[in-house]
Structure 1
Amino acid sequence: MASRYPHIFLNSKTLAATVLVSLALLQGGCSSVFFFPDNTIYITPDRLNLEYEDVYLNTTDGETLHGWWLPSLLDEPAKGTVYYLHGNAQNISAHILNAAWLPEQGFNVFTIDYRGYGQSTGAPDIEGALHDVETGLRWLARHNSNTKQPLIILGQSLGGALGLVLASEWQQRNEEPGLNSVILDGTFSGFRYIAREKLSSFWLTWPFQIPLSWTIPGDYEGTDKITSISPVPLMIIHSTRDSIIPFHHGVMLYDAAAQPKQFLQTDTPHAATFIIPAYREAVLEFINHNAHTPQTEPKNQVPDI
């Protein structure tokens, strides 16, 4: 999640603008700091030689979500379906490269824009985005109801935080189809925690870190929810060079998670994991290792990496 606060003030206009932003946050809370959508089309899958279909979903609260379905490029049946949840800025067209390598590896990919992003209607907030990712998973469950293929959640940054809560609640409710694995890449340990951390990093917002962070719903902190993902195998990926979501967030999530779990330590910039072939291979190995009937009882531990 990009921080909009730690800037050097160069002139009085910049200072005045920052004061106004701080006052606006005090009046309306700071949930909005998690979302920076736009509707620019950066690239479409066909430009990457990928087949795709536009998918439009109606939410129960009256919004319309746009997504892309990317089928596997192999002639044989797909190895599984990856539900990819993108980060907090721009829209799916700016993030698609992070999942575009999967169809040639034999996986279907489904990804959506949260409300307010891209072609999706509405304005984003935490609870609305959580509703959206569940709407997408329910569509995917119906779409793949006859395939019995492995189902994987892959979330990056904000998408990882949303996917974490989704997977936790999906498991707790014993929803079908079950999940085969969950992968969280560059994810923060909690909505309130990261907001407080970012607010405390700058002198103008430091005094407001506690009251502003309490305007964020407290029911969705990753470190509280992550244990419930078990016994679904979990991989946490985090970079020691992540300047947006510091490395300790990944460690906190890993420590809070139950087995089976793995930690993949990387050294790329934020959300740039999949530019490195070795990291792709590690993720594929994890997915393929867990490509079997979804777990309903604890299984043998997966060794850390």
Structure 2
Amino acid sequence: MVALLTSLRSTFYGLLASTGLYALFIGLLTIPVLQDQVIYLNRVTLTWFQDVNIPEQWGFLRNQVSPFFLKTPDGESLHAWHILPLGLYQQHQTALTDEPHGLASDIKERISFKLLRDDPSSLLVLYFHGAAGTLGSGWRPPSYRAMSAGAPYRIHTLAIDYRGFGASSGSPSEEGLLTDAITLAEWAMKEAGIPPSRIVIFAQSLGTAVSLSLIHHMATRPEPVLFSGVVLVAPFADVESLTATYRIAGTIPLLDPVARFPRLLCWLNTFIKTKWPSKSKLADFIRRCEDMDQGFSGYDITMIHAEDDYNIPWSHSEQLFWHAVNASMPRGITFEDLEEEKIASRVNNNAGGWAVERRTSRGVIREEIMKYGLHDRIMSYPVVSLAVMRAFHTLR
């Protein structure tokens, strides 16, 4: 009996301590600086013992990737990679391998840059990666190869590490990452001379929020700018929605215990300073595009998610798709009615998942849900290569 009481007492104290530690953790999350660390995880580089100025470490050919720095208007330095498509690289391999190796002091002097700038048929993907790591981490290098798979002589890729990530200077913030995205887009259009009609935005996870803020910003300019297309992999609706479902590193539920108490979760969300309101940005972008004159090119949005994504559930893509479609219709549509329409119209690919598409006179919105692919691995899959190729209207 004494042993049982001792065991129960130990269990009680253990639960009490665990509850106290979790409450302390939740309390710490109300501090903006710590919030940013949880959201961005920028100090978790995952490439601690690798030099991101030597891309050959990730299997690229000599000088297939040109590392360089971009300057932002507010004085930050962004580390970037320009990745050549394999077919184009093969055509110019001798000249490329004879060039200096490593970080480019002047990217405009590199052959790769000239191949991008001087070819009127060249296409460009602006790549925005997710939280944690650098542009050389995890499945990102294999996914760069997937970007150009549909046109290996034409599709270049530009990827950056946001401020505070990798070799880039500064600290991440919602406003700062948007500035970084604008800097990359402006550089592509003005310095590389690539018009928006030959640019596709690709983004994954956190990058989807950055990219949606970017396209919304560009569309709200006095002279709106629309890119050829946008491909979003594992997007999320907004940070407040994400807190109830997100698992750090795919394993640690952030606020899952709190999410069981909606009022408590709602109260805690009032402390969140970083919003990333993707569903609102996307909806407003769609409305603006629908109201634009016929002289503007149409919008092209594709959302891709895996059912086995344990970081961000694919229900977030369902929400984003509904907000986009709802914004495209004069009288809107309820989530339930749209779900019924999707069931009737979607293309069933069996073990490959399913896809649904909504078109208007001004654009197209697609949702592709794969059975498999997890959170990161899916970036290197053919479904992404096909989506990128489709987003370039000249490749259809």
Q: TM-score range by the shorter chain?
A: 0.7 to 0.9
Give yes or no for the alignment of 1:291 onto 2:394: yes
- 2:374 matched to which residue of 1? 269
- 2:114 matched to which residue of 1? none
After alignment, is 257-266 or 142-151 more displaced? 142-151
Equivalent of residue 277 in structure 2, options 210, 221, 224: 221
Distance 1:211 1:129, change over 3 A: farther
- 2:180 matched to which residue of 1? 132
After alignment, is 91-100 or 26-35 more displaced? 26-35
Equivalent of residue 142 in structure 2, options 76, 90, 97: 97
- 1:54 matched to which residue of 2? 67
Superposed, which structure 2 residues align to 1:68-107 within 5 Å? Answer: 68-75=81-88, 77=119, 79-94=122-137, 95-103=140-148, 105=152, 106-107=154-155
Distance 1:167 1:49, change over 3 A: same
Percent identity between the two aligned chains? 22
| Distance in 2 of aligned mates of 1:17 and 1:219 | 26
Shift, 1:11, TM fit: 8.4
Q: Which runs of 5+ in 2 are unaligned?
A: 1-13, 92-118, 247-253, 290-297, 329-362
Shift, 1:57, TM fit: 1.7
Give the 3-state SS of the residue equivalent to 1:34 in structure 2. Answer: helix
Equivalent of residue 36 in structure 1, options 38, 41, 50: 41
Give yes or no for contact 1:141–1:177 (8 Å, CA) kept in 2: no
Give yes or no for contact 1:156–1:185 (8 Å, CA) kept in 2: yes
CA-to-aligned-CA distance 1:24-62 (integer Å, 9 cap, x gap):
222337344211123435575324234121221222223
Give yes or no for the alignment of 1:282 onto 2:386: yes
What amino acid does structure 2 have at the position aligned with 1:101? A
| Distance in 2 of aligned mates of 1:87 and 1:186 | 9
| Distance in 2 of aligned mates of 1:287 and 1:159 | 18
What amino acid does structure 1 have at the position aligned with 2:390? F
- 2:229 matched to which residue of 1? 181
Give yes or no for the alignment of 1:233 onto 2:317: no
Give yes or no for contact 1:45–1:52 (8 Å, CA) kept in 2: yes
Equivalent of residue 172 in structure 1, options 214, 220, 224: 220
Equivalent of residue 253 in structure 1, options 300, 320, 327: 320
Distance 1:131 1:121, change over 3 A: same
| Distance in 1 of aligned mates of 2:209 and 2:271 | 18
| Distance in 1 of aligned mates of 2:264 and 2:70 | 38
Distance 1:208 1:127, change over 3 A: farther
Give yes or no for the alignment of 1:65 onto 2:74: no
CA-to-aligned-CA distance 1:181-233 (integer Å, 9 cap, x gap):
00110010112221254454124996753244233357741111113154321
Give yes or no for contact 1:145–1:177 (8 Å, CA) kept in 2: no
| Distance in 1 of aligned mates of 2:224 and 2:70 | 19
Give yes or no for contact 2:239–2:275 (8 Å, CA) kept in 1: no
What amino acid does structure 1 have at the position aligned with 2:201? I
Give yes or no for contact 2:148–2:155 (8 Å, CA) kept in 1: yes
Shift, 1:132, TM fit: 1.4
TM-score by length of 2: 0.63
Give yes or no for contact 2:218–2:225 (8 Å, CA) kept in 1: no
Q: Which runs of 5+ in 1 are unaligned?
A: 1-9, 293-301
Larger Cα-atom Rg: 2
TM-score by length of 1: 0.80
Give yes or no for the alignment of 1:153 onto 2:201: yes
Distance 1:213 1:32, change over 3 A: farther
What amino acid does structure 1 have at the position aligned with 2:60? N
Give yes or no for contact 1:85–1:163 (8 Å, CA) kept in 2: yes
CA-to-aligned-CA distance 1:126-181 (integer Å, 9 cap, x gap):
22212211112111222331678710000000001110111111122166764100
| Distance in 1 of aligned mates of 2:276 and 2:384 | 29
Give yes or no for contact 2:229–2:391 (8 Å, CA) kept in 1: yes
Give the 3-state SS of the residue equivalent to 1:92 in structure 2. Answer: coil
Shift, 1:93, TM fit: 0.8
After alignment, is 192-201 or 116-125 more displaced? 192-201
Give the 3-state SS of the residue equivalent to 2:243 in structure 1. Answer: helix
Distance 1:124 1:13, change over 3 A: farther
